[in-house]
Amino acid sequence: MDPPQTVPSSPRKKRPRQVGASMASPAHNIKFRELVLFILEKKMGTTRRTFLMELARRKGFRVENELSDSVTHIVAENNSGSEVLEWLQAQKIRASSQLTLLDVSWLIESMGAGKPVEMTGKHQLVVRTDCSASPSPGSQNTLPPAVKKISQYACQRRTTLNNCNHIFTDAFEVLAENYEFRENETFCLAFMRAASVLKSLPFTIISMKDTEGIPCLGDKVKCVIEEIIEDGESSEVKAVLNDERYQSFKLFTSVFGVGLKTSERWFRMGFRSLSKIRSDKTLKFTRMQKAGFLYYEDLVSCVTRAEAEAVGVLVKEAVQAFLPDAFVTMTGGFRRGKKMGHDVDFLITSPGSTDDEEQQLLPKVVNLWEREGLLLYCDLVESTLEKSKLPSRNVDALDHFQKCFLILKLHHQRVDSGMSSQQEGKTWKAIRVDLVMCPYELRAFALLGWTGSRQFERDLRRYATHERKMILDNHALYDKTKRIFLKAESEEEIFAHLGLDYLEPWERNA
């Protein structure tokens, strides 16, 4: 069950500002050379100007510290065109006809889009001849309308990989992970939900005002946002990253087969490094952990898309050698468009096969790889699917399909025709692969479940339960009001049953 959503509030602490500390910015790559920006401090303030300048530079914009002849665009906030002109005249600088005056909303939208957006009327500051300083339409700094309707459920938000709030979501993910390591489920979930909602925003948060109307941001979360806006970093995140327990758990859980319980034990025994653990004669390792240590370097280096595609070919060849009509679909992060993953996930289903043929497929495939010397590790889990007991009420449970968790040997020559990087001597890389076999009539549910992201799946189930009185899992959708299972041939049909707008896989990166 999901823990309660509310986050106990902690007092909002106010710390002295350290603007100067973040001034020394590293050199940034300028991506958009045709624009030279100057951000006006008047009515904006030093802190916000510094923050915006730093952010814009990080996004590839050229931003000048001083107003000079090279400047092509002036960005202002809460200033009318006439006010900017007045300021320019006071600097003894004549506004040339080439100089464009823009409202800050243009810069914010551009940073969100990762490139300069088109300058429309709402962005341009108009200079009025009567000099009556009425605010221009764009300068009211109101939130985009979409912000007011953001859902608390990830399945009602489109979340692509274009995250314009990395600076915040990276921080939240560290904190969520630390709470997970400390088994504080409530705070862990609070920070995961906060990260998820910020990933869906089409703009970058640059002031606390931007957080108005956004769900899932409790006081504890807002405290972190505020600190990052003011100081460029969170003291809590900094403390966590330097924390011995966090560092050790992070290291230990990076080994395939090592979870929280084992990490806790090793930490309590005083271990802090993997080499000490590996060489300890008194420790007993599971088969999974032995494989985890054996192929550690390959497994932590992550799987590239090219490698995932090459594994896909390998899987298809093997599967279709035994069941020619079988469908093999890459699921997980790669189906959502990710360029890297910790493993490669596949869903296999076959319309024409009997229950027996279905049950025999994975063992046959695994045997084939074993004979070919490609199988480095295999854990085959038999199906526990009992159609009478569906659906399961345990929202985070693994499903009942037959599946295998593997480590396969992928030869470099199968990737990009051997162009990928090679370690000296070694001609292959160990890759984590998950195969799931599902009955053909359940394929839409299995595909939806195995595509993820995990946060998206959690919210989809929570939404079904709380908003539709339905139970969804990787096998079925049950309508509690009508007391029937709802059938579906495609993911689109499942979304429709739930009364949701369809989201493409690449919009599920919650």
409, 374 Cβ separation under 8 angstroms: yes
Contact partner, 449, from ligand DCT, Mg ion, none, Cβ < 5-8 Å per class: ligand DCT
CA–CA separation, 199 vs 69, rounded Å?
Answer: 38
42 with 133: CB under 8 angstroms?
no
Question: Tokens at residue 410, please?
Answer: 């992928």
Q: In Å, what is the CA distance from 385 to each residue of 63, 146, 147, 313, 452? A: 60, 42, 42, 28, 21
Question: Could you give the 3-state DSSP secondary structure of residue 153?
Answer: coil
Residue 396 annotated in ligand binding: no
Out of 2, 170, 243, 434, pick the active-site residue: 434
**Applying CB under 6 A, does 452 fall inside the site for ligand DCT?**
yes
Catalytic member of 231, 298, 343, 473: 343
Does residue 332 bind Mg ion (CB under 5 A)? yes
Binding track, positions 313-332, relative to ligand DCT; x by CB under 6 A: -------------------x
Contact window for ligand DCT (CB under 6 A) among 54-62, 189-197, 214-222, 451-459? 451-459
Binding mask 283-322 for Mg ion (x = CB under 5 A): ----------------------------------------
As a whole number of angstroms, the longest Cα–Cα distance in the chain is 86
Q: Shortest distance, CB of residue 195 to ligand DCT, whole angstroms?
A: 14
Measured CA to CA, the distance from residue 8 to residue 47 in angstroms comes to 30
CA quadruple 293, 180, 154, 233: dihedral positive or negative?
negative
Q: Is 343 a catalytic residue?
A: yes
Indicate whether 208 belongs to the interface with ligand DCT (CB under 6 A).
Answer: no
The correct pick among 42, 338, 487, 497 for binding ligand DCT (CB under 6 A) is 338
Residues in contact with ligand DCT, counted by CB under 6 A, come to a total of: 14
Residue that the structure tokens 């758990």 belong to: 249
Handedness of CA 438, 444, 446, 451 (dihedral sign): positive
Structural contact between residues 254 and 277, judged by C-beta atoms closer than 8 angstroms: no
Residue closer to ligand DCT by CB (options 347, 366) is 347
Task: List the one residue from 122, 342, 480, 482 that touches ligand DCT (CB under 6 A).
Answer: 342
Among 300, 398, 419, 484, binds ligand DCT (CB under 6 A): 398
| Sole binder of ligand DCT in the list 445, 450, 463, 478 (CB under 6 A) | 450
Backbone angles phi, psi at 493, to 5 degrees: -65, -35
Report the alpha-carbon distance of residue 100 to residue 464 in Å, rounded. Answer: 50
- CB of residue 141 to ligand DCT, shortest distance in Å: 36
**Contact between residue 495 and residue 504 where contact means Cβ atoms under 8 Å apart:** no
Binding partner of 398, given ligand DCT, Mg ion, none, CB within 5-8 angstroms per partner class: ligand DCT
Contact by Cβ (8 Å): 467, 495? no
Binding-site residue ranges for Mg(2+): 343, 345, 434
Contacting positions for Mg ion (CB under 5 A): 332-333, 341, 343, 345
Contacting positions for ligand DCT (CB under 6 A): 332-333, 338, 341-343, 345, 398, 449-450, 452-454, 457
